[in-house]
Amino acid sequence: MNTAKRRTVIAGNWKMNFTPAEATSFINAVKPLVAGKDNCDIVFCAPYVTIAAAQAAAEGSNIHIGAENVHFAEKGAYTGEVSAKMLRAVGVDYVIVGHSERRQYFAETDYTVNLRTKAALAEGMKVILCLGEVKEQRLAGITNEVVAMQTKLDLADITAAELKNVIIAYEPVWAIGTGLTATPDQAEETIAVIRATLAEIYGEATAETVTIQYGGSMNEKNAAELLAKPDVDGGLIGGASLVPEKFAAIVDAAQ
Ligand code: PEP
């Protein structure tokens, strides 16, 4: 973990879990476990309807509450969607964009991921931009090409100044919610490809400043090994972010 140049970010993705009451109980339980753990930023990305309850429970703590997606239009006829301006209006400063479940089940593409990223950045939000290869691509030996292409398309027309608010989450799709984890070496190697692609676009000095997380069945048992890699700057965590003790153990591993 490179804490010298980059901020480590440990983020939970609650997905479609937790009512407002459950979110309140969860935050109240995790808060004391992560208090004072200032070597990393701590974020929970919540379903829209639980954001307010999670924020209220997290108030005054070192926990940030984010959203799980954002639409690219400012307003208009987009039934069911929520804009960056709306999220900002309720004090949300982090948002996940391009999660593989959004790409897989809701037909989001690199083009719309790029638009959503730009919309969130324009409102001054921090974006956790997810990308990663599917199993067939890893087996075909084209992981590096896939993540390089996604990096370029998802960040198209995003300036170096805007990039300061982008956190990239490298999430091999075959590892998400499957219990399979990339080995620390696989995570390190692929993150190095993403960083080299950032260097191509923005120059090496800027690329070195971008936080790149690993996500994919990170848990309390494997986090220390993954986070020990020099290019792994944190984690995006699904399943283990629903259990206070498991999530807190990952935060401990990042200290
Ligand atoms: C995720 O949802 O981004 C994720 C990595 O999930 P899990 O940790 O459950 O694999």
State in Å: Cα 92 to ligand 1 middle: 21
Say yes or no: CB of residue 121 within 6 Å of ligand 1. no
What letter does residue 83 receive in the DSSP assignment? Answer: B
* CA angle, residues 245, 211, 214, in degrees to nearest 5: 50
Q: Is the pLDDT of residue 241 over 80?
A: yes
DSSP per-residue codes, 128-155: EEEE---HHHHHTT-HHHHHHHHHHHHT
Mean pLDDT, the chain, rounded, equals 96
Write down the catalytic residue from 64, 71, 99, 133: 99
What letter does residue 64 receive in the DSSP assignment? Answer: E
Q: Is the pLDDT of residue 3 over 60?
A: no
CA distance 101 to 27: 24
- pLDDT of amino acid 4: 55
Which residues lie across from 215 on neighbouring strands?
236
Q: Is the pLDDT of residue 165 over 90?
A: yes
pLDDT tens digit sequence for 170-192: 999 999 989 899 999 999 999 99
Query: Percentage of residues in the chain with pLDDT exceeding 70?
Result: 98
Identify the structural domains of the chain with CATH numbers, from first to last.
8-253 (3.20.20.70)
State in Å: Cα 76 to ligand 1 middle: 31
**What's the average model confidence in pLDDT over 48-58?**
98
pTM equals 0.97
**What's the average model confidence in pLDDT over 214-233?**
97
**Which CA distances in Å does 69 have to 87, 88, 116?**
10, 13, 8
Residue 170, class by beta-carbon neighbours within 10 Å (0-12 exposed, 13-18 middle, 19+ buried)?
Answer: buried
Contacts of 132 by beta carbon, 8 Å cutoff, 6+ apart:
100, 147, 150, 170, 171, 172, 173, 190, 215, 216
